[in-house]
Amino acid sequence: SPLGPTPKLVIDLERLQQLPKDKAGPLARYAATIQSQRGDYNGKVLSIRQEDLRSLAVIYDKSPTELTEELIGWGVLDPEARRAVEAF
């Protein structure tokens, strides 16, 4: 496409740690599980599967688009992530 390939969904793990637990808790647990499955504990960022954003949207009781906007607002996802979700 003219805009290039679909961008990755990249979670900012340092930002995630700064957020209140009531907001970030489910995402933080999900990210920790993926890190554990990959054996990848040292990153400042974590690329997640598009499929995982769908699962997270169910957990947060939002549409993938709404959850993406919320995570961008929290500073956990880059605004580029919008294009990844448009591709759903």
SS3 11: strand
Binding footprint of ligand C2E, residue count (CB under 6 A): 9
> Minimum distance from CB of 17 to ligand C2E (Å)?
19
How would you class 36 by CB atoms within 10 Å of its CB: exposed for 0-12, middle for 13-18, buried for 19 or more? exposed
| Site track for ligand C2E across 1-40, x = CB under 6 A | -------x-------------------------x--xx--
CB-side neighbour CA atoms (13 Å) of 68? 22
Interface contacts to ligand C2E, rule CB under 6 A: 8, 34, 37-38, 47-50, 52
